[in-house]
Structure 1
């Protein structure tokens, strides 16, 4: 005999659902309380930096170094980079100090975190003196609505309350136009351009027209044409390929469906640092390669770039053969610098991923205080963390094997091991029958 299955109308079923809803509601209150508490602590960190940096010296550098040091200290606990923590400190101060009524409504359970972020995003487009008035109305608009549904309404509300015309604000916003590179997964990245809407729409429209022309004519084969009629790319894929062609070559001629040796990669002349395992370069392995400081890239791209390069440099570190490991001068010789780039790969402050080719070679023990210019006393630091080492209470010493041991102002120790080398040599195991070595 089996138990009867619960149906959506049974009391047991309804009681179970009620328990789940109550549990989610209770967990939501706990999570909200923790998120608000974290915001308040981070905001307090920002205020502490103001207090420590302002009274003794009004220089911006003093305040910035104090804030960097605090952010690095907190980052060690949060398992985040100091840059991320510093950004979150600024965001926390904006929310806690700029929109206190929204935080209070969140704490009381009237709205949720998504509402607060929507209010802050829309409200910051207004002058600060209007924030109080805006958030009072915005909180009422959020009542009973989901954050996504009310977000557009809040943006319209902010536009209507703004004392300046849209034309004036657009001209100011256009000054912030930029292009950003956001590393993604599987050897892909997002190239994000922030442009005036009419220009962005025009670019997208032109790409679409050119992509459609390629798609519409893919079945045509003129006498002697090199066009491959089996092109199965989608419109989105063709649009992306045309975009790359136009930027790299000035014309959509580098079509992957045509007989070209390198495709769009043939136009790349940027300076990059790529760590390529020998097996991948030879084709014996198809694993990803490392674009130092960025993300993995696919092996086919690596082989194409390797074939196009004009200069090959092989680095061997063997003290017995006379490879430069030390010098009496302050200047780091080029050979030693190349070895350090291969060893460090990126900035050696905990959590930082700025590529070594964009960093400074730092004397761990200051050269002016007797530190030698030798491999065991050199490491790459980006400008930000080089300055922190000089102007804050963060200390560092270098152990054997290029290991850096950082000590924070609170005495916490962070060990920064040298990255895994791109190439490693190991002694070959002796096989049965091999002659004994002399």
Structure 2
């Protein structure tokens, strides 16, 4: 009986070893791809710099051409390629140790994303370096999901100012913008305090579900209904609250948010 158990334990250990090696190989391959995107981002930046003082539209042309070329080779959309280029450039510049650990197969893509998510708000290079060192130690011992909560606390402890102070300053960046994306379509986006953004999305979702349930013949997806609701609300209604200071946390107006 003991020999059977020992044999099973040996098989388990071998399987654990093999899966660990396989996961490391996957991480190394993904890191190698990210290095290509980082190189592409550097090439794009050089091409833009060579234009002298281009307009914002002209500056986009080299990057778009490069993204289209890489997208065709990798069978990805241009926008996906540009996002990968931006992420890889950020990783190269601000989290070099994390990039190296990824290439060595010590951390996974999920770990890398979590480290970037919680480390980017640290604008001080020294604080970010301290964060990265500790984050990598923790990443090698746990899953990306469990790592997130741990790094959130770590990042907060390294911030020179309180969350309240940072939030009050960040509120100044709120706004709305529109960007043409072709085929007669455009992307409308808005930057809001998180409490309002989540409340807005939740309200849209509740209303979309109500409309969907009320009409079984409605073939629109929830996303499509949410988009239609945004257009309807913005174009057919008028403000009903004081907006002099802005509908925002800390300035009143939250009472205007109503669930369905």
TM-score w.r.t. length of structure 1: 0.40
CA distance in structure 1 between the aligned counterparts of 2:91 and 2:165, rounded to whole angstroms: 26
Check whether the contact 2:24–2:104 (CA below 8 A) recurs between aligned residues: no
Query: 1:201 and 1:88, CA in 2 relative to 1: closer, same or farther beyond 3 A?
Result: closer
Check whether the contact 1:289–1:296 (CA below 8 A) recurs between aligned residues: no
Unaligned runs of 5+ in 1: 1-5, 180-191, 208-238, 246-254, 257-262, 266-285, 298-438
CA distance in structure 1 between the aligned counterparts of 2:128 and 2:224, rounded to whole angstroms: 44
Check whether the contact 1:8–1:14 (CA below 8 A) recurs between aligned residues: no
Aligned to 1:16: 11
Residues 313-338 of structure 1 show CA distances to partners (whole Å, capped at 9, x for unaligned) of xxxxxxxxxxxxxxxxxxxxxxxxxx
Deviation at 1:157, TM superposition (A): 1.8
Number of residue pairs matched by the alignment: 210
Deviation at 1:27, TM superposition (A): 1.3
Aligned to 1:135: 132
Check whether the contact 1:122–1:154 (CA below 8 A) recurs between aligned residues: yes
Query: 1:24 and 1:242, CA in 2 relative to 1: closer, same or farther beyond 3 A?
Result: closer
Aligned to 2:63: 67
Deviation at 1:193, TM superposition (A): 8.8
CA distance in structure 1 between the aligned counterparts of 2:3 and 2:196, rounded to whole angstroms: 54
Equivalent residues in 2 for 1:333-412 (5 A)? none
Given the alignment of the two structures, is residue 240 of structure 1 paired with residue 206 of structure 2, yes or no? yes
Give the number of the structure whose residues are more often helix, by fraction: 2
CA distance in structure 2 between the aligned counterparts of 1:70 and 1:123, rounded to whole angstroms: 28
Check whether the contact 1:7–1:13 (CA below 8 A) recurs between aligned residues: no
Query: 1:50 and 1:194, CA in 2 relative to 1: closer, same or farther beyond 3 A?
Result: closer
Equivalent residues in 2 for 1:204-215 (5 A)? none
Which residue, 160, 163, 166 being the options, matches 2:160?
A: 163
SS at structure 1 position matched to 2:11: helix
RMSD value over aligned CA atoms? 4.1
Aligned to 1:52: 47
Q: Which has the higher contact order (CA 8 A, sep 6+)?
A: 2
CA distance in structure 2 between the aligned counterparts of 1:88 and 1:41, rounded to whole angstroms: 10
Given the alignment of the two structures, is residue 29 of structure 1 paired with residue 24 of structure 2, yes or no? yes
Deviation at 1:159, TM superposition (A): 1.8
Deviation at 1:34, TM superposition (A): 0.7
Aligned to 2:235: none
CA distance in structure 1 between the aligned counterparts of 2:159 and 2:76, rounded to whole angstroms: 37
Check whether the contact 1:43–1:89 (CA below 8 A) recurs between aligned residues: yes
Deviation at 1:108, TM superposition (A): 3.5
SS at structure 2 position matched to 1:54: helix
TM-score w.r.t. length of structure 2: 0.64
Query: 1:15 and 1:45, CA in 2 relative to 1: closer, same or farther beyond 3 A?
Result: same
Deviation at 1:242, TM superposition (A): 8.4
CA distance in structure 2 between the aligned counterparts of 1:76 and 1:136, rounded to whole angstroms: 37
Deviation at 1:103, TM superposition (A): 1.8
CA distance in structure 2 between the aligned counterparts of 1:167 and 1:123, rounded to whole angstroms: 18
Given the alignment of the two structures, is residue 91 of structure 1 paired with residue 52 of structure 2, yes or no? no
Given the alignment of the two structures, is residue 103 of structure 1 paired with residue 99 of structure 2, yes or no? yes
Deviation at 1:55, TM superposition (A): 2.6
Deviation at 1:75, TM superposition (A): 0.4
Aligned to 2:143: 146
Give the number of the structure whose residues are more often strand, by fraction: 1
CA distance in structure 1 between the aligned counterparts of 2:116 and 2:208, rounded to whole angstroms: 38
Q: Find the structure with the greater CA-based Rg.
A: 1
Check whether the contact 2:28–2:105 (CA below 8 A) recurs between aligned residues: no
